[in-house]
A and B are shown apart, each in its own frame.
Chain A
Amino acid sequence: MRPLTLITLLMFLAAPASAQAPLSTIALDERLRADAGLRVGDTVTLSTTPDGAGTRMVVAAFTRRTADPSEVARSEYKVRLHLDDLQALLGYGDRVDRFAVVTRDSAATERTLSAVNAQAFGFRAHRSRDIAVETGRTFAVINRFHRAIGVITILASAIFLLCIMLLRVEERRREIATLRLIGLSRRTVVQAIVVEATAIALLGAVLGTGLGWVSSLAVNRFYQGLYRTPLVFSLVTPDVVLLAVSLSAVLGVAAGWLAAQRLVQRAPLALLGR
């Protein structure tokens, strides 16, 4: 039975702190301050069952939720007690669930793991990174889902861009026919259209980056408020911007080239409708 899981079930009652009794202190989830109107110095009664006698404790602090994705959708409150108080409350004796150990460096981590697993009876040491990989499976799935959505979005953008470029070159077929008739080579025409398409794509990418950044702020604000967590849901990093701009440029070049091919493969007079 995990104590921190169980403690989320506790009932609490606010009452004035007693001056005589030396009560233990407790740190409460920050969300309880808003939801239950509790303040530092209030006394709460904790019990492992709704109708239990309970233990009185003084609220010493409020703690903010950590940015832990695995807890984001959970609405339970977390409270932090002194270890001996929690052991007494649960009748847990001198038992603990786990120890967290800080090592000096990675070599020390390896030595500690080997030493604990080889010698210490009753303990199994794990590297934090390995535990994170195991618990991160959920987020690996979310990442794959987001990537798949991204691919569909890129496909839609590519078609949109190609459509726009096609419309633009179709609109200018007379102008391009005239340029061909006064001696411009097909290659020059294709290059001009590709440059134009790339410029449009890059301009769109810059505007899109700005829009993405604003959307990212809105998304973070919305979800952080909804789940009451400091977790950052959407992050616009230089890598993401670089990927978006590069992709746009590639799509721009491809769309421009394809659109230009339709134009330069027809005779200039045919483009003029003769």
Chain B
Amino acid sequence: MERRLRVVHYLNQFFAGVGGEARAGHGVSATPGPVGPGVLLQQLLGPGADVVLTVFCGDNYFAEHPEEALRELLRLIRDARPDVLVAGPAFNAGRYGLACALVCQRAQDQLRVPAVTALHPENPGFEVCRRVIPVVPAPAQATGLVETMRPLARLVLKLGRGEPLGPPEEDGYAPRGRRRNQLHARMGAERAVEMLLDKLAGRPVTSEVPIPDFGPIVPAPPLADLRGAKLAMVTTGGVVPRGNPDGIESRRATRWGKYSIAGLDTLDSEKWTCVHGGFDNQFVNDTPLRQLPLDVLRDLEREGVIGGVHEFFYSTVGAGAPVARARAFGREIAADLKKAGVQAVLLTST
């Protein structure tokens, strides 16, 4: 017979039956077996798993002494040798939700115990942990306990047995913002034709690749007059000084560089090179001005069309850049440009 899973359940003082707001300063405690909502959890888990221990803590105690509370809780959890940790449901209770999120995260990181909780999407704990552990979206109020506990119990069993989770909509947890490969029952070609027939018949279609949401990118207002503006060159085309002093990678670059062009009128192919791994570099290597038209900018500067050219250009490699990293590079470079009093940027790609 399969071994029964050991489950530890975390609650706050209220759900553990200690008392309400008056007892919110209660320290960390533990009691064997299920308590409060844990009784329902145990019923739903059935004979495959036992809630061996309930650990609990007052909302204020946790909020005021989070590190101490976590240390004590983790010691109790570790000593119980659980297969899974469950916290909550904490619904939309803020202090309790945050405690659930942190206990789960810590248990998973430090004890390697898979953890799961249930929180209302507006609970501050939700965003804290939903990318690292499965979180069952719970209603704001405790009235929906059974509906919340059912998927929670299913997830406990799956996590405890080491089974891979199904997609969020099937297994009832909030998407963790990650994608994982799986083998589908049917070939891509069959799914494509089926999807097209659905689309043609006006039936609802769910794209297997979600439509990306990059959020709003608000362009800066246009400059009324370039004559007073200092202009900088920024490129994702990977032009760097020969020797690539910052070691900017040819793909999925982890850094950007800032290189002086003070006093230069042109970019000599003896001194500059292209390290971009996503296009045929020979044309830029022959004439780096194809990527960074410094000669033309100097003309415009002399003619008074622009106020000046910033003494540095900024360079990274755009090939394969994760969006989050590209965003961070953009922020960092923009901050540097602002500090230097740059008003306009010529952004070149490949």
**Do A and B bind?**
no
Interface residues of A (CB under 8 A from B): none
Interface residues of B (CB under 8 A from A): none
